Amino acid sequence: MNIHPKIQKLLDDISVKNILSLLELDDFSSVFEYADKINYLNHGKYIDIRAIVEFSNYCKRKCKYCGLNSTNSSAKRYRMTEKEIIHTAIEARKAGYLTAVLQSGEDSYFTVEKLGFIIKEIKKQVDMFITLSCGEKTFEELTYLKECRADRYLLKHETADDLLYDRLHPCGTLVNRTECLRNLKKLGYESGGGFMIGLPTQSLETIAKDIFLLYDLQCDMAGIGPFIPHPETELNNYSAGSTELTKKAVAITRIILPKANLPATTSLGVLDSKENNNLFSCGANVIMRKVTPPEYVKLYEIYPTDINVKNIEEERKELELAIRTLEKIPR
Ligand code: 5AD
């Protein structure tokens, strides 16, 4: 296979400039093809399926794009009990999921002691990987959670543009966010970064910086998804991010982080359900499925979706079938 000269240039020197020059290509087909090949060489035909348990939608932050932000008074808040969280993860394991992603807003109610207890209980009862996705934590807190056997941690950096980061996040800084991601690596977690495509004022150069930051942090996982406006946020009048640009960003990330786990993000699926075929041909090798109990799933509204959860086992089977139809192997 001939490598496009711009891909070769990027491989020789991984830089924002060389990422940008790929993003600017008019014909991206050779990049998609190369990313697909690298994905195959590193992950074979496997698509790893993860179960997401959205266990609390309380959040102390005020991120301007997110439906869970604490200023959204129309959001009906819930917390699952520890027992419910453990039970749901175990049900997911029984249905065939090898990983549970425990996700929530930044909810101080769930102290690291509570989270640690939940992880230990799940691990006591079933053999399962645990990914946490519950916001920024101190080095000490992350150390404790690692001791409780958390395996992975997702904490998207959201945008690598300082100014944009500050405008969107009244409660945090990019420096703190990336520090947290570096701490995760130091502590031996598989770390997950990621960002949104289509945030207001974002340019192709911002996206190049976002992709470069994933490389700089040597992220083990990266979630890249289009921004979807939520009606109860300040960004409600902006348009959704481009699915095509999202796929391009995933493909370039695959090329520079060949071993990383890259999900076809839920938000990409929401905007691009008709084009499902393409999601796994741009370099993605992971898919996440909500297993949140039906009474809560509608309330966990980061952005509007019509995703329902009816039966964990049946939905897992349907997904496996869909993956097999794409000539991939669900795992
Ligand atoms: N559109 C798309 N993604 C969003 N997220 C939060 N709000 C939105 C939105 N409106 C993403 C963020 C966050 C993850 C849990 O969901 O990247 O890290």
**pLDDT above 90 (res 203):** yes
Rounded CA separation 71/56 (Å)? 16
Q: State the average pLDDT over residues 141-155.
A: 98
Q: State the average pLDDT over residues 62-85.
A: 96
**pLDDT above 70 (res 209):** yes
Query: What pLDDT is recorded for position 272?
Result: 63
The percentage of residues in the chain with a pLDDT greater than 90, rounded to a whole number, is 87
Q: State the average pLDDT over residues 70-89.
A: 97
DSSP string for 281-325: TTT--EEEEE---HHHHTT--SS------S-HHHHHHHHHHHHHH
Q: What pTM was estimated for this model as a whole?
A: 0.94
**pLDDT above 70 (res 284):** yes
**pLDDT above 60 (res 128):** yes
- Give the pair of three-digit tokens for residue 277: 């075929």
Whether residue 300 has its Cβ less than 6 Å from ligand 1: no
Whether residue 228 has its Cβ less than 6 Å from ligand 1: yes
Closest residue by CA, ligand 1 atom 2: 227
Cα(196) to centroid of ligand 1, in Å?
Answer: 7
Q: State the average pLDDT over residues 4-21.
A: 96
Cα(9) to centroid of ligand 1, in Å?
Answer: 32
Phi, psi of 153 (to 5 degrees): -145, 125
Q: State the average pLDDT over residues 53-80.
A: 96
Q: What average pLDDT is seen over the chain?
A: 94
Cα(13) to centroid of ligand 1, in Å?
Answer: 31
Whether residue 65 has its Cβ less than 6 Å from ligand 1: yes
Whether residue 66 has its Cβ less than 6 Å from ligand 1: yes
Rounded CA separation 99/93 (Å)? 8
Q: State the average pLDDT over residues 283-312.
A: 91
pLDDT tens column, 246-281: 999 999 999 999 999 999 877 776 666 655 556 788
Cα(195) to centroid of ligand 1, in Å?
Answer: 8
User: Strand pairing partners for 102?
Assistant: 53, 132
133 Cα nearest atom in ligand 1? 15
Query: What pLDDT is recorded for position 273?
Result: 61
Query: What pLDDT is recorded for position 183?
Result: 98
- Confirm if 102 and 132 have CB atoms less than 8 A apart: yes
pLDDT tens column, 83-124: 999 999 999 999 999 999 999 999 999 999 999 999 999 999
pLDDT tens column, 157-200: 999 999 999 999 999 999 999 999 999 999 999 999 999 999 99
Residues 273-310, buried b or exposed e (16+ Cβ, 10 A)? eeebebbbbbbbbbbbbbbbbeebbeebbbbebeeebe
Cα(66) to centroid of ligand 1, in Å?
Answer: 6
Whether residue 288 has its Cβ less than 6 Å from ligand 1: no
Residue 312 binned pLDDT confidence (cut-offs 50, 70, 90): very high
